[in-house]
């Protein structure tokens, strides 16, 4: 098995672009966990996550408009457990499933962040 040091692959700042909350953990969670300097990680959540499947476990009676706030809280918890500061999480709230309609403002905001 070939092993790599994430610090060597990502020596500077790291910007993770996640269409939805939880995409950053599913795609990059292992790498985030191995990086020693979490303060150099920035995570952008592009959409509000409103089109996510309704969670189970007694939460299925929630109104649909409650889901984005739940997703934000889950993202804050997950990134907190991985050591990424809450100030480095950016919740942009573009409408879920319609991100293509917001390409220009998305580019602008990314440019401002970078």
Following CA atoms 69, 75, 76, 81 in sequence, which dihedral angle do they give, to the nearest 10 degrees? 150
On whether residue 1 sits in a domain, the answer given is no
Q: Which among 67, 112, 64, 61 has a CA at the least distance from the CA of 90?
A: 112
CA-to-CA distance for 33 and 13, rounded, in angstroms?
15
On whether residue 97 sits in a domain, the answer given is yes
How many C-alpha atoms does 50 have within 13 Å on its Cβ side?
14
Which one-letter DSSP state was computed for residue 101?
G
Average pLDDT of the chain?
89
Average pLDDT rounded to a whole number, residues 108-112? 96
On whether residue 12 sits in a domain, the answer given is yes
Q: What domain count does the chain have?
A: 1
Q: How does pLDDT run across 13-36, given as a tens digit for each residue?
A: 999 999 999 999 999 999 999 998
On whether residue 104 sits in a domain, the answer given is yes
Domain that holds residue 18: 6-113
CA-to-CA distance for 34 and 28, rounded, in angstroms?
10
CA-to-CA distance for 42 and 35, rounded, in angstroms?
13
Report the CATH number that the domain containing residue 13 is assigned in CATH.
Answer: 3.40.50.10320
Q: How does pLDDT run across 46-64, given as a tens digit for each residue?
A: 999 888 776 656 666 777 7
On whether residue 36 sits in a domain, the answer given is yes
Give pTM, 2 decimals: 0.86
Tokens standing for residue 75: 């993202």
Q: Write down the pLDDT at residue 47.
A: 96
């Amino acid at each position: 098995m070939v092993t790599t040091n994430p610090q060597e692959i990502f020596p500077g700042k790291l910007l993770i672009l996640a269409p939805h909350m939880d995409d950053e953990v599913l795609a990059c969670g292992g790498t985030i966990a191995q990086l020693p300097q979490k303060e150099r990680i920035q995570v952008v959540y592009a959409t509000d996550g409103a089109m996510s499947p309704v969670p189970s476990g007694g939460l299925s009676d929630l109104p649909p408009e409650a889901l984005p706030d739940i997703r934000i809280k889950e993202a804050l918890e997950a990134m907190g457990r991985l050591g990424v500061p809450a100030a480095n999480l950016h919740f942009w709230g573009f409408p879920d499933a319609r991100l293509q309609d917001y390409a220009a403002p998305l580019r602008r905001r990314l440019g401002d962040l970078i």
